[in-house]
Amino acid sequence: MGDSDGSKTKVELDARFTELYRAHLRDVYSYAYYRVGNHHDAEDLTEQTFLQAYRHFERALRESNGRPLRPWLIRIAHNLAANFYRDRSRKPESAIEDAGVISSVHTTESLVEGREELQQILAGVAQLPDDRREALIMRFALDMDNREIARALGRTDGATKVLLHRAIRQLEGIVATPEETQG
């Protein structure tokens, strides 16, 4: 009995992982891209995230109790990105270092190009502390709600709400004084 159950489970697992992968490839890539600031590293980070997720998928499914797995995926990407900076002695601050470069590869390319205010915002995002920047990426690029962000960052819902609020306020302050962002 164990054998047929086991192989069926494996097939089901692969099918579910494929679903997860297809549903969230764009999310993981967007997160990686805004986190590391260039396509090459974002591709690496995305690939590593899914390989890592594949290895631990069964356990994640078991422990998720039916909750969405997107926060888990983004948390993997978040941890890998942290290692990425540590291993290569890179400063996270260099991510999204060139708002022009980022705007040129947006899906909404024409929207950002030539709109100084959006470029200022991207430059401002790059100046935020890591946790605030990440929270903003999750909220605005991935459209995650507070609960999902809290799970991805390993914080409480309340702490996440405060984090987002402060991130937006700080960013507003940065954008309001553009000479600082460009200096």
Partner 1 sequence: MTSGTTDFEALLREALAPVDPPADLAQRLELTLVNLTELAQDELESWELSAMRDPRNWVRPAAAALIGTTAGTALVVLRVRARHRARRAGSGSLRELAAGTLQDIAEETRRVLPDR
Please give the residues from 117 up to 176 whose contact with partner 1 meets the rule CB under 8 A.
117-119, 121-122, 125, 136-137, 140-142, 168, 171-172, 175
Question: Does residue 101 interact with partner 1 by CB under 8 A?
Answer: no
Residue 52 CB, shortest distance to partner 1, in Å, is 10
Site for partner 1 in 67-86 (CB under 8 A): none
| Binding piece for partner 1, criterion CB under 8 A, among 31-39, 61-69, 70-78, 79-87 | 31-39
HEC sequence for the chain: CHHHHHHHHHHHHHHHHHHHHHHHHHHHHHHHHHHHCCHHHHHHHHHHHHHHHHHHHHHHHHHHCCCCCHHHHHHHHHHHHHHHHHHCCCCHHHCCCCHHHHHHHCCCHHHHCCCHHHHHHHHHHHHCCHHHHHHHHHHHHCCCCHHHHHHHHCCCHHHHHHHHHHHHHHHHHHHHCHHHHHC
51 is an interface residue for partner 1 by CB under 8 A: yes
- Which segment (26-34, 73-81, 144-152, 153-161) binds partner 1 by CB under 8 A? 26-34
Interface contacts to partner 1, rule CB under 8 A: 2, 6, 14, 17-18, 21, 25-27, 29-30, 33-34, 39, 42-43, 46-47, 50-51, 54, 105-108, 111-112, 115, 117-119, 121-122, 125, 136-137, 140-142, 168, 171-172, 175
